[in-house]
């Protein structure tokens, strides 16, 4: 996705320009490797108690009535869910930590929603599907391997701490992938595409690491 060619692409704000510059400079890199078994805070991170809002500055207002989730691509049963259909899927409650590449972490977030494993059971990706590309209502995209998408702890969340997810945090529904940096956790998720090949999303095209494991400090890519 390029700002020059996509008329729907969000405008490039100062913060976004700064984040692109940090990616070029390798800002926040410490070169340390932590062990999740013994250390809860990944290298180069600091704890916050609040929950910062970070996005491209476009906050789409999507009502639950008009909300839809399309699942497309290499799957046996591609589907479009509306709110009622989504809420009829198995519902789970999970607790996880947030690690943002801009160096803040927040512990013990309680999420409610549909685990990616339950979603995968409903749509059954074809054996050759290896990756997902996530499309959001604000024009944002991000890519994941199918293994990372399906990892334990990953869910499509509609609630946080027992309340509906607010619009600025991606409500009605966002993805949560707690074992990777938070830019992979797509807000206002609109479409999940199952793919045979990988393709970079918004930040991955702008210098962020393709995978983003906070324990290996995979903040930015080297090329």
Q: 115: helix, coil or strand? A: strand
Residues engaged in binding ligand MTE (CB under 6 A): 51-56, 100, 136, 138, 140, 169-170, 182-183, 185-188
Sign of the Cα torsion 81, 94, 107, 180 reads: negative
In terms of Cβ atoms closer than 10 Å to its own Cβ (0-12, 13-18, 19+), residue 64 is: middle
Residues from 175 through 214 that contact Mo ion (CB under 5 A): 183
| 67 lies in the binding site for Mo ion (CB under 5 A) | no
Residues paired with 80 in a beta bridge: 70
**Choosing among Mo ion, ligand MTE, none, which partner's interface includes residue 55 (Cβ < 5 to 8 Å by kind)?**
ligand MTE
Q: Which is nearer to ligand MTE, 97 or 138 (CB)?
A: 138
**Choosing among Mo ion, ligand MTE, none, which partner's interface includes residue 36 (Cβ < 5 to 8 Å by kind)?**
none
Q: Which is nearer to ligand MTE, 105 or 185 (CB)?
A: 185
Whole-number minimum distance, CB 217 to ligand MTE, in Å?
16
Question: Are residues 70 and 119 in contact, defined by beta-carbon separation less than 8 angstroms?
Answer: no
**Choosing among ligand MTE, Mo ion, none, which partner's interface includes residue 111 (Cβ < 5 to 8 Å by kind)?**
none
CA distances from 120 to 22, 126, 194 (A): 35, 10, 10
């Amino acid at each position: 996705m390029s700002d020059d060619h996509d008329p729907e692409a969000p405008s490039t704000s100062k913060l976004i320009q700064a984040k692109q510059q940090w990616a070029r400079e390798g800002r926040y890199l410490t070169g340390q490797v932590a062990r999740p078994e013994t250390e809860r805070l990944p290298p180069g991170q600091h704890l916050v108690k609040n929950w910062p809002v970070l996005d491209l500055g476009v906050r789409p207002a999507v009502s639950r009535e008009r909300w839809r989730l399309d699942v497309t691509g290499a799957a046996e049963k591609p589907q479009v869910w509306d709110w009622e259909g989504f809420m009829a899927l198995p519902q789970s409650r999970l607790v996880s930590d947030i690690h943002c590449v801009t160096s803040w972490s927040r512990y013990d977030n309680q999420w409610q929603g549909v685990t990616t494993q339950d979603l995968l059971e409903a749509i059954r990706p074809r054996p050759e599907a290896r990756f997902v590309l996530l499309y959001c209502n604000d024009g944002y995209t991000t890519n994941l391997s199918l293994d990372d998408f399906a990892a334990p702890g990953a869910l499509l969340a509609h609630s946080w701490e027992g309340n509906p997810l607010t619009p600025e945090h991606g409500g009605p529904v966002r993805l949560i992938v707690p074992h990777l940096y938070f830019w992979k956790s797509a807000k206002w998720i609109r479409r999940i595409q199952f793919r045979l090949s990988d393709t970079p999303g918004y930040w991955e095209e702008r210098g962020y690491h393709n995978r983003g494991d906070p324990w290996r400090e995979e903040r930015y890519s080297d090329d």
